[in-house]
Structure 1
């Protein structure tokens, strides 16, 4: 809320380093539609990997870790009916919250959405979820000797519903006005929500999950394919320091948002660079896709199997073959016959 009180003054002049990072972000955003059209197989693989990485990393930032990787994967896939401990329960809860935002129509953004996400986060535990904090809280650091240092002081519990509602209203107004870069608005929303700290527990996870959703709503969908949370976990010290530097003076409307916004935009720019690198690597395999296409259209039997392509084109992976077959099917050049291992394909008569 505080960051949106005098937005033109607060972020009216964007530092050069942030401008450059935003340029990388916007160029990356412009390429997303092209990748969706040309590399559907790659994007499906990246989305599956990013989902697992995001849920695992965002949970690990808060100390929620399931050491058995195979079991963690089964939990994320929804194949575990009995959750053994608190970490497994919270991992499953974050899975549910993120999947809700990625796979459902979650709009509109309002206080009820935040409460619903929080309820999902703790739905598998015995703890209370889906309600704002009832007691004042502090965000602290504990050193090796056990001494506590106050990192920042959130708003009082009694004021939390008002601050959350006001933040959402101001964010939605500024997002509609389109006077400032949407990525900066999402970053400020995340900063203010973390300072408000509306819940007794789970504030970071709710904020990170919601940040992905708001970025996607603004047209920046890279978090579907590259995990922002994983990058944050890899740079956790910078993450916490940037937050700390931008919370000083927040209650007095004297905070400097640029340490946090600089970090936030950098994480997003890094994700787009990673996305472009992975797409380029897949495109370098384009000659193999061309070979598959040529074989299917010009050399394969009228009715053929995937095994025929493997034999004719050793060294071409099954995912590459499937990408080409799917594309040709959508073009109407081939159509499947049968199901399962014995399935065949037939070329359309030209």
Structure 2
């Protein structure tokens, strides 16, 4: 029995913190249009920034990385792609563009799920196809040890389970028996527990979450990268997923840790959305503001490369220029020289 089937049968006692999240999200959603009207000329810049961050972060969570200097070219240009990683990064960007452009008209169907997988996996033999062999989700440790974290649905049962999951989503959406934000998170958990593909499940799950958010009027993922927030909280992401998937096959699992995590991601995105639009409305430069926010979120000690990871479309030269200005203003100081140089926050952040 999946989480959705259980909720449709009896949706009751949810943790009090979930209720608080839902109340906060309701307020954010209510103010969404007001903030969008405040600075419509800046929304395209936010959207483009989120497109880069989401593409890079969602792939990086799964170990798919490309050269920092190639990010803008791969995401926005039409270059000759050098390797599989660049192909998958480009494919994720194409999937994001499809959702951002046509999200309201893209249904939650198996065809949509397979099409998203085909995009993110690129030119590989099983792109857009369910797994044909059973597998395990294995956690590997630096010392060479490993353990089985979860055994997904078998390959033989995957098509049937995915068909039922899509049908359950339709039933839940029509009945409105489950609050939309919880519905999306519960469906996302069930999808990851089925684990329908040999590879690419995490990336497809994040794209489907974005698509479903569009369907329910939560537009924040267009302007703030949900994938980047998940990457910044990656340990919590994997911990709550493991906690909530334990006992899933026997219907003895506790879905709330993972559901609360995704609600936290959504609330964090809305808070950042309002902050960025407020800052833009005060006349601050968009790229400068992105750098300042990245520094504010960084540890007390940080490197230029860490800031660049958070602002992938901002040039290295501009980051250095802002750091120099902040150093002159006594807000940061350099603690080294050369490639290993680090910076330390000294002023009020």
| TM-score class normalised by the smaller sequence | 0.7 to 0.9
Question: Shift in Å at residue 266 of structure 1?
Answer: 0.6
Gap runs ≥5 in structure 2: 285-349
Tell me the residue number matched to 2:117: 118
CA positional deviation for 1:247: 0.4
8 Å CA contact 2:38, 2:281 repeated in 1: no
One of 251, 254, 257 as aligned partner of 1:253: 251
| Range that drifts further, 134-143 or 70-79 | 70-79
- CA-CA distance at 1:10 after TM superposition: 6.2
Tell me, what secondary structure is at the counterpart of 1:149? strand
Q: Distance in 1 between matches of 2:32 and 2:43?
A: 10
User: What is the correspondence of 1:200-215 to structure 2 with a 5 Å cutoff?
Assistant: 200-215=198-213
Give the 5 Å matches for 1:48-67. 48-67=48-67
Residue equivalent to 2:28: 28
Contact 1:191 1:243 in 2 (8 A): yes
Distance, in Å, in 2 between the alignment partners of 1:237 and 1:224 is 24
1:135 and 2:133 are equivalent in the alignment: yes
Q: What is residue 317 of structure 2 aligned with on the other side?
A: none
SS of the equivalent of 1:130 reads coil
1:8-47 superposed matches below 5 A: 11-47=11-47
Pairs within 5 Å for 1:1-350: 2-7=2-7, 11-67=11-67, 69-80=68-79, 82-104=80-102, 107-123=106-122, 125-285=123-283
CA RMSD of aligned residues (A): 1.6
**TM-score, scaled relative to structure 2:** 0.78
TM-score (norm 1): 0.78
3-state SS of paired residue (2:157): helix
- C-alpha distance after superposition, 1:56-88 (max 9, x if no partner): 100000001112x231111100331x1111111
SS of the equivalent of 1:140 reads strand
What per-residue deviation string (whole Å, max 9, x for no partner) do you get for residues 165-206 of structure 1?
A: 100110111112112210100001110000100000000001
Q: How far apart, in 1, do the equivalents of 2:38 and 2:89 lie?
A: 34
The answer to whether the 8 Å contact 2:55/2:89 transfers is yes
User: Whole-Å Cα distance in 2 between the matches of residues 119 and 153 of structure 1?
Assistant: 24
**Is the contact between residue 35 and residue 274 of structure 2 (CA under 8 Å) also seen in structure 1?**
no
- Residues 67-126 of structure 1 show CA distances to partners (whole Å, capped at 9, x for unaligned) of 2x231111100331x111111111111111221122135522111111111111222x34
1:285 Cα shift? 3.8
Q: Distance in 2 between matches of 1:11 and 1:57?
A: 34
Between the aligned partners of 2:235 and 2:63, the Cα distance in structure 1 is: 15
Query: How many positions carry a matched residue from both structures?
Result: 283
Distance in 2 (alpha carbons) for counterparts of 1:63 and 1:9: 38
Between Structure 1 and Structure 2, whose CA radius of gyration is higher? 1
Asked if structure 2 preserves the Cα contact closer than 8 Å seen for 1:101 and 1:210, the reply is no
Whole-Å separation in 2 of the counterparts to 1:34 and 1:92: 33
More displaced stretch, 207-216 vs 8-17: 8-17
The question of whether the paired residues in 2 share the 8 Å contact of 1:3 and 1:10 is answered with no
Distance 2:26 2:42 in 1: 21
Q: Look up the SS of the partner of 1:251 in the other structure.
A: coil
Q: 1:8 to 1:115 in 2, by over 3 A?
A: closer
What is the rounded CA distance, in whole Å, between the counterparts of 1:10 and 1:83 in structure 2?
A: 50
Residues 96 and 120, structure 1, Cα contact 8 Å, conserved in 2: yes
Report if the CA contact (8 A) 2:230-2:265 is conserved. yes
Q: Residue 282 of structure 1: CA displacement?
A: 2.5
Taking the aligned partners of 1:194 and 1:108, their CA distance within structure 2 comes to 19
Q: Which residue of 2 aligns with 1:317?
A: none
